[in-house]
Amino acid sequence: MFNLFKLIANEFRALVFPGTCLKCRTLLTGKGESSLSSCYCTGCLGNELPHYIPPFCPCCGKVFTSRTGESHLCEDCLRRPPVVSRVRAAFEYKGVVREGIGQFKYNSRLSLARPFESCLFHAFGIYLAGKKIDLIVPIPLYFKKARQRGFNQSYLLVRNFVSLYREKYGIPPDWTIDAKGLVRVKQTSTQTGLDIVERRKNLKQAFKWKGRESLEGKSVLLVDDVYTTGATCDAAAGALTDAGADRVDALVLARA
């Protein structure tokens, strides 16, 4: 119950006090809650957001530094393919997007939830709307961290996807959202500063599918805020495939 009250209080605060730039505190004139301009001034947003565009690895989604050429498998995926079949994102993890994700997660700036969700749904429409998806699953937090933070940022990024889909396409989606079936059963230490091997070890058996719905033969889309080494998504995808999922893709707000 405390978590519910905390979430409501945070959302109320986000609605009542959205009128200044989250970075420089300049008064804002924009009113659209689905745009990042409702949270940042034009000076802080800059001329161009770090949108996620090709060329990138079609498997892990790594963006190539050269902006010319075609998308192709990266060296890491050729050497060791991840459990996740396909990773797509709304942004690259840099600039005001990186700062905003930090404010969103760690400073409870929930005025960013709707703009970020809108951006993520736009990326969904570009990269995944026509693909076979049976279930959308946000990456869960360990219950102690969820209690401490008061919300799961991954769920807030996808909670309105059904209504957004209806609004855009005029029909209900073929998929559903399950925010409870995938459980983080192991409290892990922070991933910051760990290399890929240490991250994988840290997350080993950290997730388990406990949902009532069978995953046998189904295609699942994981949703998370940031994809860096892929260790978290791979650990979650491993739990889903162990439960019978035929394929697991990932959609993230930002790809590092």
Residue 35 lies in a domain: no
Q: What is the pLDDT of residue 35?
A: 85
Cβ–Cβ under 8 Å, residues 91 and 51: yes
Q: What is the model's pLDDT at position 97?
A: 97
221 and 85 Cβ atoms separated by less than 8 Å: no
Q: What is the pLDDT of residue 47?
A: 83
Is residue 39 one of the residues assigned to a domain?
Answer: no
Q: Is 27 inside any structural domain?
A: no
Establish if 127 belongs to a structural domain. Answer: yes
8 Å CB contact between 87 and 52: no
DSSP, collapsed to helix, strand or coil, labels residue 20 as strand
Closest CA to 203 of 226, 232, 229: 232
Q: Does 124 fall in a domain?
A: yes
Tell me the CATH number at 229: 3.40.50
Residue 36 lies in a domain: no
Instruction: For residues 202 and 182, give the distance between their C-alpha atoms in angstroms, rounded to a whole number.
Output: 18
Q: How many CB atoms lie within 10 A of CB 170?
A: 7
122 occurs within a structural domain: yes
Mean pLDDT, consecutive 10-residue stretches, the chain (256 aa), reads 54 60 85 79 90 97 89 96 97 97 96 97 96 98 94 98 98 97 88 75 92 96 97 97 98 98
Number of independent structural domains in the chain: 1
Contact present, 56 and 43 (Cβ < 8 Å): no
- Quick one: which H or E segment has residue 124? helix 113-127
Instruction: Confirm whether 41 is domain-assigned.
Output: no
Q: pLDDT at position 197, please?
A: 81
Closest by CA to 213, choosing from 243, 237, 239, 186, is 243
Q: What's the pLDDT score for residue 211?
A: 96
pLDDT at site 15 = 55
Range of the domain at 78: 2-18+50-255
Report residue 2 CA to chain centroid gap: 25
